[in-house]
Structure 1
Amino acid sequence: MSISTEKMVSRKEIMKGKVLHVTVDTVRINDSDKLAVREAVWHFGACAILPVADDGRIILVRQYRYAATQPMLEVPAGKIEHNGESPDICAARELEEEAGVTAGEILPLGYVYTSPGFCNERIYLYLARQLHKGAQHLDDDEFMNIERYTPKEMEELIANNEIVDAKTIAAFEKSRRYLAGI
């Protein structure tokens, strides 16, 4: 059997929130009479930035994640604010808001989908270098600690399941060729 295509026939909106939109869609498979139901989560996307200081250490943030019910160690990241916002603008904004630094150089590393089986969220990945001190600008409901790790320490944290955040692992992996000491 070949890969199928699917076209929406009808949509029922379940929820429209600030961050995501949930629908139940009926789709037609391969222009045939076969129909299927797809539950989908729609999201504007996000950016995740691996900031590397001049000493080679990587800046991460630790924050409590409600849905995961635990604090997590992650790269600075945030959602694209509106449909059409440039991922590059989002990345620069989130880097300073969360990590308290700006970058002389921000390199795009591509993107990943978080859960393509039911969600269209695309996270654009970046490497930030030539960092300069800025100021954290956290939202009223955000609380996070800034931590620094060598690339080797990050490898160990990932191997030991102390970093389990997918965007952080993806950004680290896509940055490897730029990192010294691993």
Structure 2
Amino acid sequence: MTSEPGVSDDWLVDRLAPRPVVEGDLIHRGKVWDLRGEVVDLGESQVLREFVDHPGAVAVIALDEQDRVLLLQQYRHPVRHDLWEPPAGLLDVEGEELVLAAARELAEEADLRAASWWRLVEVFTTPGGSNERIVVFLARDLSAVPDHELFERTDEEALMVPVWVPLDDAVDAVLAGRLHSPTTVTGVLAAAAARARGWSTLERVALG
């Protein structure tokens, strides 16, 4: 389906369209997310769907003055891989604004602050099996977090390896299938596409 000349392209948008939930059960309550089962009325039929109930997350594509992107190597046990990812984290602070959560994660995982922020892209990571939604921000005008404010990282985060990669090299790695994290793939490609448009398509956001 394509729009005819003179017809708006606004139809090409994912729209919120919830179906009635007939019944629902909490199958498992986890430390970070839960597993739920819901019977959904589709009109012609009712179906049982099980899914991960996720709090959501944010990620940060941090670019320096040389258009290098910061990636962190982190072990992800479900896929048994060391993945190269941007700084990211859960929306686990009640009432916290998205951009403030992103700034917090940038400071905690990369010891960095950013003076300039844009909303870059957002994605449902696994819409057939989870309601996880990740909002990816672009951060620029970077500076180091003062030593007395450094965050003490633990568990997998304590072993993260940071690297600065030219954005074009990161794009090549994504297109060659060498990088697999959804925040890396979507964030890197979105940043490259936005740069090609002179950054004019991005929505700037303010901290606080």
TM-score (norm 2): 0.78
Report if aligned partners of 2:33, 2:53 keep a CA contact under 8 Å in 1: yes
Between the aligned partners of 2:118 and 2:179, the Cα distance in structure 1 is 23
Report if aligned partners of 1:51, 1:127 keep a CA contact under 8 Å in 2: yes
Counterpart of 1:139 in structure 2: which amino acid? R
Q: Which secondary structure state, in structure 1, belongs to the residue aligned with residue 142 of structure 2?
A: strand
Alpha carbons of 1:82 and 1:101: their partners in 2 closer, same or farther (altered >3 Å)? closer
In structure 1, the residue matched to 2:13 is: none
Between the aligned partners of 2:40 and 2:94, the Cα distance in structure 1 is 24
Segments of 4+ moved more than 3 angstroms: none
Shift of 1:112: 0.7
| Larger displacement relative to structure 2 (6-15 or 80-89) | 80-89
Counterpart of 1:14 in structure 2: which amino acid? I
Report if aligned partners of 1:73, 1:162 keep a CA contact under 8 Å in 2: no
Percent of matched pairs sharing the same residue:
29
Between the aligned partners of 2:27 and 2:106, the Cα distance in structure 1 is 33
Shift of 1:152: 1.6
Between the aligned partners of 1:97 and 1:80, the Cα distance in structure 2 is 14
Shift of 1:178: 2.8
Shift of 1:5: 5.8
- CA-atom RMSD, angstroms? 2.0
Q: Which secondary structure state, in structure 2, belongs to the residue aligned with residue 167 of structure 1?
A: helix
In structure 1, the residue matched to 2:42 is: 29
In the TM superposition, 1:89-104 aligns within 5 A as: 89-104=100-115
In structure 2, the residue matched to 1:119 is: 130
Report if aligned partners of 1:41, 1:119 keep a CA contact under 8 Å in 2: yes
Report if aligned partners of 2:114, 2:139 keep a CA contact under 8 Å in 1: yes
Shift of 1:179: 6.8
Shift of 1:168: 1.0
Shift of 1:161: 2.2
| Larger displacement relative to structure 2 (10-19 or 130-139) | 130-139
| Selected match of 1:164 from 155, 177, 180 | 180
Shift of 1:96: 1.1
Counterpart of 2:22 in structure 1: which amino acid? V
The runs of 5 or more residues in structure 1 that have no matched partner are none
* Residues 63-95 of structure 1, C-alpha deviations (whole Å, 9 max, x = no match): 111111010011111111145332111100001
Q: Which has the higher strand share?
A: 1
